[in-house]
Amino acid sequence: MNNNEGSFNDEELRKRAASNEELNIRLTNNYAFQKIFKNEEIVKGFLMALLHLKETDIETLEVADPFVEGEVKEEKEGILDVKMVLNGGKKINIEMQNTYQEDWAERSLFYNCRMFTEGLKKGESYYELPPCIHVGILDFNYLKSPGFYHRILLQDDKTGELYSSKFQFHVIELSKIRSTKGKARKQELYRWAKLISASTWEEVREESEGNHYMEKVRDEMIKMSRDESERYLYLREQMAIRDKESQLRSAENRGRREGREEGRQQGEVLKLIMMVKKKMENGDSIAKIADDLLEDIDVIEKIYDIVKENPEKTREEIWDSLMNATMIEM
């Protein structure tokens, strides 16, 4: 049987879900992450590690409706992975992203801004706006700085003075876990990151042992792996991940092919420019040059005019002028 989940159709996915096949549950799977991290007990333990809270610091924790609706049809809508309200005020959104997102910063800004302003009633003071924290758990490198964890605040870039603590971004980059060194490896958040990135049951058991909240995660993952309907939904999400990764690879390969083709075309035009310049030095006319080089007279005329007006330009500069002229015509 082919192990590439992306190649399975729906009927085959249901057969796998109903089979006795051992299934490794990974929290980088969006379905598994959303299902398990909507458990209040589990997300409580994660927030304690992330925000350096004691158990007694968390008075209430409410998992909220994750749907974000646009005010008008043209506005973007989305489903947040996990949205919650801590201690009756502080709003927190946690998102798992398993494929590279070039616009991740803008995405996180969008969701945090929407959370920050939603619910403010007319006549209420801006001071009443609650703190909002966006947590991005990324299974790819996004930030250039080292370290698996980044806390981003609004502050003066010269003095470091905090502008406001009500707008925060926390980024966990799972791909940087192995390169993490020193004290960071002893943090409880580091263990959570390793648990979330675990790809085998052995890793899950190793990272969760001895922590009540992490053991709860492990237990929920085991339950999911044994439930036929849960297995099906998990596998379907895995197939979507594979398809998305395949699309990204295809786009990258297409971009490389187009780049090579563009480079080949540029090389041919640069060679043509050089030959036109030599024939112009011999006093040849546009018609003769086109005839000798077996080229379209319109193409030769464009090169001829640029060279005549700017005889000091290099062939690369003539290429740039030629491309700019072509873009203006378009």
Is pTM beyond 0.75? Reply is no
Q: Is 45 exposed, middle or buried (0-12, 13-18, 19+ CB in 10 A)?
A: buried
Start-to-end Cα distance in the chain: 52
8 Å CB contact between 318 and 303: yes
CA dist., res. 320 & res. 325, Å (int): 9
Cα–Cα distances in Å, from 134 out to 50, 110, 152, 184, 188? 12, 10, 10, 21, 19
Residue-level pLDDT, tens digit, the chain, 330 residues:
344 444 457 888 899 999 999 999 999 999 999 999 999 999 999 999 999 999 999 999 988 766 544 444 444 444 557 889 999 889 999 999 988 888 999 999 998 998 898 877 788 888 888 899 999 999 999 999 989 999 999 999 999 999 999 999 999 999 999 999 889 999 999 999 999 999 999 999 999 999 999 999 999 999 999 999 999 999 998 888 777 666 656 665 665 665 555 666 777 888 888 889 888 988 889 888 888 888 888 888 889 888 888 888 888 888 888 777 654 343
Give residue limits of the domains in the chain. Answer: 5-253, 264-329
Q: At what angle do helices 188-197 and 212-226 cross, to 10 degrees?
A: 10
Gap between the Cα atoms of 225 and 22, Å rounded: 8
Given its phi and psi angles, is residue 160 left (phi above 0), alpha (psi -120 to 50 degrees) or beta?
A: left
